[in-house]
Structure 1
Amino acid sequence: MLRSPWARLAAPLAFVALLLGGDLAGGTSIRIGGLMIAVPALCAVFLGPRQVLFVTVVTFGCVIIAAEDNHQFDSANFPVVIGTVVLIGVGAVTAASIRARRERQLAQARWVATVAQQVLLRPLPARLGTLSLASLYMAAEEEAAIGGDLYAATVLDSGEPRLMIGDVQGKGLGAVEVAGFLMTGFRRAARRRVKLADLPDYLDRRLREDLLDLAETAPPAPEGVRAAPRSGPRLLEGFVTAVVVDVDDGGRRLRVANCGHPPPLLLHGGTVRRLVPEVPALPLGLGDIGEERHDVDTYALDPGDVLLLYTDGVTEARDPDGAFYPLADRLGAWSADPPEALLRHLREDLLLHAAGSLGDDVAMVAVQRPA
């Protein structure tokens, strides 16, 4: 694939020169100069307007040379050929200008969305209470809208750390906005001293209220314009998978509330344990489906143990053969590493597995109790 701007420009010019050479070599019996007319139109797909204009001018000159060699100046068809070159050239330059403008608009929108997400996902502190902490966010490498992966951490009035990781349904600015709602609710719940057992229901209700307010206040789309995915009734169908963890009893115990999210992994003495909830629960935002019960599971956290929270962008990353990333199997090799080194190794190994191209955003948080 031609990445250099000069290489992309040289390719169509070389093709025009090749067609001209074939036309001149074939004499009057073989006329392929007419194929040159299609080159500017094809260039509009990958070249800028100025480059397309340059290719059009070169093509025009080559058509003149071919016509002179074939003694076509006096033919009735020659003005049609010249008019066709000019018409296609003008259309190609116009199309390239429109494409370039839309690419700039898309790049600007992606930049704004990325900045908004980075504001929400500031790196977590290296220590939270007695715990060592590290966080990681990786945007998808493919040409896709940003996702709604999120993480947050706080210290309760009791001095105990509380962590959350989540994944919003969908992508784009709407997902970032929903992530902001959930993180605001998470911090508000800590200030209001909401207990972990009550937190999923609290977050679910707050999230549905925020989504309803947003849907009701969103302006209608103009006639003939498709409604933006961040507004309207579709928002009410959204949900967020999440895991919230309290580390209490002086850092010796984990209390986990899982709302439809991939189970956390606990590294203990070189082994990896999946903390699967005893009672599965619906994701946040779906509480109106029916009365939902959110249980809290309790696990021991021994000195040196590491808890890994992650989004499904990790486990659903595929290698070139389509195999998913075996997170639990790979994690044991770095169980003795501190959180920051652990996430660094995971990042390198994940990118190696996916050949450098992630299909979805990735968020991870590693927590360690000091040995």
Structure 2
Amino acid sequence: MLLSPALLTVLLSVLAVLTPPEVPITRLLPAAPALAAALWPVGPTLVLGLACTLGVSVYAVMSSDHSTLFTAAAIGLVTVAAVYASHLRLQREDTIAEVRTVADATQKVLLRPIPRRVGPLEIGSLYLTATPHARVGGDFYALADTPDAIRLIIGDVRGKGLPALAMASAVLGSFREAAYEATDLTQIADCLETTLCRDDAAALAQGDPAELFATAVLAEIPRHATHATILSCGHPPPLLGRHGDVHVLDTDDPSAPLNLGGLLTPTFHPRRFAFATGDQLLLYTDGVSETRAADGTFFPLTTWAHDQLDKPPWHVLKGLHHALLEHSGDNLNDDIAALAIRKTA
């Protein structure tokens, strides 16, 4: 691809020599520097354009076809335009590279990398955005390695774009502060609720406070115990893999999403469950469970998980990504986040 301007120049030059003078092949040569503007830096584009201009000029003199000099002039003008276009393209590429660098830094601050090993747990993480080339979206997750337990959160805020990103940032900041101070998941959820009720959170997200809400699942896994606790705030239920079986950790009395418009009094209902060595917990956002095929059918997450949750966490999420792409026909149109946590001791 990068050699195509030079190859096009050689091809047209050979055809111009081999064809009769009445076949004006040289008139096609301006295409070469124009193509180079899209692929090459300024210097090589200028050199190619000058070579074409000079070659056509020599050909016009040797063939006594002075009308070809007009073609040489056209090539010269196209070369000037191509050089300027190449300069603008390089400037825009530099700007895009800077924006991408800022986006990468934002992702590292907002979605801090989760280590593969924390205490007795192996952990894998998956994050995909619906917006092409975006690094972060409205889904979020975080881990807090506290002295007594490992606490995690995964969630999804309402909306998309920068307002959703701002709201996710507020939730994550509150979680990272509360996870080390609160005594249980209910206190953490209360802190998240308080954060979203504040006016500055609404102003940051540039939205109506009555429309700001987020679904989330909080998990607490003690270091030296055979149980764990989850608290779901309007979020899809986690899956628990144990000895080849998959259990859906739903609750009879689910809590409402965080700050559901202030319409409901927040009441949180944690659920405690057995979590022994070899068990694996899968937390995910609705971008996973609501992935649709071309015929509108949802991704069969529970069925898929039966053959997967006995594998290492990062293999589970790699397989999940592949399965979602296959089910949707490479058309994932929602943000996706997932955490796989396996207890090894």
With normalisation by structure 1, the TM-score equals 0.72
Counterpart selection for 2:29 from 27, 36, 57: 36
Aligned to 2:239: 265
Counterpart selection for 2:47 from 45, 48, 54: 54
Instruction: Deviation per CA, 1:229-257: give whole Å up to 9, x if none.
Output: xxx55999665442112347974444433
Counterpart selection for 2:175 from 186, 196, 205: 186
- Preserved contact between residue 113 and residue 146 of structure 1 (Cα < 8 Å): yes
Question: Percent sequence identity over matched residues?
Answer: 28
Aligned to 1:78: 69
Counterpart selection for 2:113 from 122, 126, 138: 122
Question: Quick one: which amino acid aligns to residue 264 of structure 2?
Answer: E
Tell me the C-alpha RMSD between the 2 structures: 4.0
Q: How many residues align?
A: 335
- Preserved contact between residue 166 and residue 243 of structure 1 (Cα < 8 Å): yes
Counterpart selection for 1:134 from 105, 123, 131: 123
Q: Which whole-Å CA distance do the structure 2 matches of 1:70 and 1:236 have between them?
A: 79
C-alpha distance 238-26 of structure 1, shift in aligned 2 (>3 A): farther
Q: Does 1:364 align with 2:338?
A: yes
Aligned to 2:38: 45
Q: CA deviation at 1:110?
A: 1.2
C-alpha distance 99-151 of structure 1, shift in aligned 2 (>3 A): same
Aligned to 2:14: 21
Aligned to 2:88: 98
* Structure 1 unaligned blocks of 5 or more: 3-7, 216-231
- Preserved contact between residue 200 and residue 294 of structure 1 (Cα < 8 Å): no
Aligned to 1:344: 314
C-alpha distance 297-26 of structure 1, shift in aligned 2 (>3 A): same
Instruction: Deviation per CA, 1:270-325: give whole Å up to 9, x if none.
Output: 112233454566654x5326326554252522423221123456567799999987
**1:1-371 map, 5 Å:** 2=1, 8=2, 10-68=3-61, 71-73=64-66, 75=67, 78-79=69-70, 81-119=71-109, 120-124=111-115, 126-128=117-119, 131-137=120-126, 144-148=133-137, 149-154=139-144, 159-168=148-157, 169-170=159-160, 177-193=166-182, 195-197=184-186, 199-200=188-189, 202-207=191-196, 209=198, 210-214=200-204, 232-233=206-207, 240-247=214-221, 251-278=225-252, 283-284=257-258, 287-288=260-261, 290-291=263-264, 293=266, 295-296=268-269, 298-304=271-277, 305-311=279-285, 327-337=301-311, 342-350=312-320, 352-353=322-323, 354=325, 363-369=337-343
Q: CA deviation at 1:112?
A: 2.3
